[in-house]
Amino acid sequence: MASEAAANTDPRIVHAQALKSPYTPLSIYNTLIRLYSTTPYSLRLFSHLPFSPTVVSWTALISANSSSPLSLRLFLSMLRNSHLPHPGTLASLFKTAASVSALLFGLSLHSLSIKLSLHSHPFTASSLVNFYAKCRLPHDACKVFDEITDKDEVCYASAIVGLAQNSRPVEALSLFAEMKRYNVVSTVHSIAGALRAAAEMAALEQCSIIHGHALVTGFDTDVVVGSSLIDGYGKSGLIMDARQVFDESLPSLNVVGWNAMMSGYAQQGDNESVLELCNSMEARGFVPDEFSFLAILTAFRNAGLVAETKKWLSRMKNDYGLEPRLEHYTCLVGAMAQVGQLEEAESVAMTMPHKPDAAVWRALLTACASHGAADMASKMSRKLLALDPLDESAYSMILNVLSAAGRWNEVAEVRTMMKNKWVKKEGARSWIEVKGEVHVFMAGDRKHELTSEIYRKLGELMEEIEKLGYTPVFDHGGEREKREAHWYHSEKLAVAFGVVSEAAPPGKALRIVKNLRICRDCHEAFKYFCRVIDREIIVRDVNRYHRFFNGRCTCGDNW
């Protein structure tokens, strides 16, 4: 009890009382070491302990320095002093190893935990799962999780968050469902992780279900869950629902929640709403951070406003004293390339104060493909593949550009390169969620149990939009595909299924997700589809959101 009281008191007061007292138990000194974690006094106090330090004392010191590599060196000193770790020691060390990217140290620590039979302890195991997830080794994280005999809520939360962070949303949501099936209680982190997974898939119904669960468990008022809900609804295209959660959570939201709302608007290119939120945030005393500016720059990029993107990148540095990161410059490169300033965009990429990564070259390659710039696309694909030789999307884009330009010898060379590297062209996939179940379609797909109804409905839709004036659009005058091949693209099949299955109530939008860039023909067709079925269609492709209503798209045909 004395330790608990000390934890809620100014450490200097407790320290003074300990020095005056004729006898102060070691537990108080151990607590003081942790309380002094943000100061240099933890190490000084440890070195002047009136008792021989125990493993608890060493663990307190290691935990006090968990944000620094110093804790790893302290652990080695602990071993030299003949103290073996307990689960709390290992948990703190795995946290440090993940934060400082000390993979080899973490692997050695894992080996030690096995030798000491501590690896399956929930406290150790959950931190191990988190360690492997943070090191981008989700397979190893799952293996550790599967070996835990008594999985508690912390173990499940670590695994769910880890899978969501590593872009494995289906597995994250499956694990969340398993957790509830086994009656393991939820935590703020497991709910936030599941919401992140649902957001990545743009799975609206899953997001709504988890929202309901958060309401039942009372976690809906937590700032972390609130921010995740805003992010989830925003990425599902439900910007009004995201705004409703935002407004309800407003008194307790921190800058993370504001950024989530701004990001939701940014994905749709709604720069006016983003700037309005930014001004309101500052009026409430919050200072925009690098993520706030990333949302602002993303909004201008998606709106194709190069001058505004440049202006706000400059303001970030000059007015707010924030140094733009690579992601911020990528927005400028993408904005310029998107409107056809390809050479200027490349010049920015080559002269910015950061080394271009795969995302920069992918943005340029995507724009080159959109503008049919075959020569420059070849150049960008070489730069991208030099960084990521197995990038399926890069091969897919350059093949399409070269084919459209009729450069068949180069097409053959690219295909040979793919064959040698065992890379297959990424297939276009679209999916739509109905009653909590995700239905995936590929071009010409005939595996669905409602195939007959889907194809019949799609035929009817195509006939209707042709009466309204739709004509097929072929990118850059390339070789014309057969009419049926255009008809049966994955996103068109998803729309037809959405109508057949009544995926959304009357007046509600159909929501479709595609793993690649929506093709120009489907983009044109969707302008007519929304008129025929008399409802909004929201498509989230690899680049951005497209909201089709009244025969128009919010992207302004610029994506």
The DSSP secondary structure of 515-556, one letter per residue, reads: SSPPPHHHHHHHHHHHHHTTS-EEEE-SS-EEEEETTEETTT
d(CA 280, CA 302): 22
The residue type of 62 is I
Q: Look at residues 324, 322, 344, 319 and name the one whose alpha carbon lies nearest to residue 334.
A: 344
Angle at CA of residue 503, ends 190 and 435, nearest 5°: 35
d(CA 291, CA 271): 15
172 Cβ contact partners less than 8 Å away, ≥ 6 residues apart: 160, 161, 163, 164, 193, 194, 196, 197
Q: End-to-end distance of the chain based on CA atoms, in angstroms? A: 62
Each residue of 267-294: pLDDT tens digit? 888 899 999 999 999 999 999 999 999 9
pTM above 0.85, yes or no: no
DSSP string, 446-494: --STTHHHHHHHHHHHHHHHHHTT-----GGG-PPPPHHHHHT-HHHHH
d(CA 493, CA 478): 23
pLDDT at res. 210? 92
pLDDT at res. 122? 83
CATH number given to 357-426 = 1.25.40
Helix, strand, coil distribution of the chain in percent, nearest 5 = 65, 5, 30
Q: Look at residues 149, 148, 225 and name the one whose alpha carbon lies nearest to residue 186.
A: 225
pLDDT at res. 477? 42
> Greatest CA span in the chain, whole angstroms?
95
The SS3 assignment for 222 reads coil
Q: Look at residues 475, 333, 336, 489 and name the one whose alpha carbon lies nearest to residue 402.
A: 475
Cα distances (angstroms) measured from residue 109 to each of 48, 74, 92, 421: 28, 14, 11, 35
> 3-state SS string over 169-201?
HHHHHHHHHHHHHCCCCCCHHHHHHHHHHHHHH
Q: Look at residues 408, 390, 391 and name the one whose alpha carbon lies nearest to residue 399.
A: 408
Residue 304's region, left for phi above 0, alpha for psi from -120 to 50, else beta, is left
Token pair of 480, please? 């014309």
| H/E stretch holding 112 | helix 103-115
> 3-state SS string over 21-47?
CCCCCHHHHHHHHHHCCCCCHHHHHHH
- Pairing type for strands 510-514 and 552-553 reads unpaired
Ranges of residues in the chain whose predicted pLDDT is under 50: 1-8, 476-481
The residue type of 76 is L
Domain ranges of the chain: 357-426, 429-472+484-553
Backbone φ and ψ for 189, nearest 5 degrees, come out as -75, -40
